[in-house]
Structure 1
């Protein structure tokens, strides 16, 4: 079972008794932390692979590519806080929202305390946005993923050949430009589904011309179908 609790620039995800695995991806807009309550998960990043068991905690800054595999059925609490609130003067408000969501979702003070303490530490680390043409391209693909942008268009924006672009982008972001754009289209679909948008409306607004393509990519990255995700957000929306 997967439950989503959202509000105030924060999100708590509870995977209970889950065997879901997540492919190589990144969280471009959020500081992400995970606390394993039961079972085992394997987290791979570009810095290595870690095995996390009961009471294990991991932290991911924005843009860090990673994958997660189930070592056994697990219960995992993930806290995601959007990078803008965490990096600005309203971090206290975002932290308070995160605390309220954790109390509602988990109700375990010791887990809440550990996650919030690590959140404070993670918010002060370098976020990895970078500068220059590649960073500008990455920002555009995050901000407006739904807009058509071919590899040739991306190469022109980044002022380099398309072959050099693919290598350089993968080196800096951990994903190809196309995969990064596709990931951000799914993320935009998530944000829309958390509101009043239907699945068809979210698919079109996120840049998918085919709803079945949206369904497949969404399930691959999120672990739920768009419809199941929307039901979860409706039933478990935060303050």
Structure 2
């Protein structure tokens, strides 16, 4: 059962954008359940869409990476170190004062006067997370060896800042049903619906009519923290977008092998 805002439906459905509706059985008309002040409905938390200002792992992280992940809801100081506890908002614990800068490896964040020198042997780092003056390839991962960074892998798609490791953005970071357009450059049909299982490639479920593959809440796929972790896809492929989600979406696990 889902609870979308009226604004999530096409204008021709003539639903109130500031009202939250309940979708029950497949094919039901949306049922109004709550009225919000103007613009207030979309401000409610979507359980399928991760909050970029909340932690997804327990570790320290540079504020600059939280900002890069798209956090704008709370003030974040890019030059500070934050303590992250899973599902909580990050807490500032230290500010890196010039000439020190915040550096990020798989072991966490530190303030360093020499950001291009690794502190811990064997720690991993994404080139995109390093200080630009270090000259590291932003699409590669590195291992700290002898105080320096040695290239480990060339990331074909993305690198997770918090782990310092590559991941394949053509693999599903979450389960659910998803339109092919969510995975650009992966050889999928934009107007087809695919079944996603976390860690696997999308599998074609069925083709949609032109313009009928409708994106719901989609987990982010970026170079930034929190990398590949997120909620569930909930895209649809139906003839009438004014109706509630079709049964295929609500029961996508029945399509899994």
TM-score over 0.5 for the pair:
no
Q: Which protein has greater RCO, CA pairs closer than 8 Å, 6+ apart?
A: 1
| Larger Rg over CA atoms | 2
More strand by share: 2
Output the TM-score relative to the length of structure 1: 0.21
More helix by share: 1
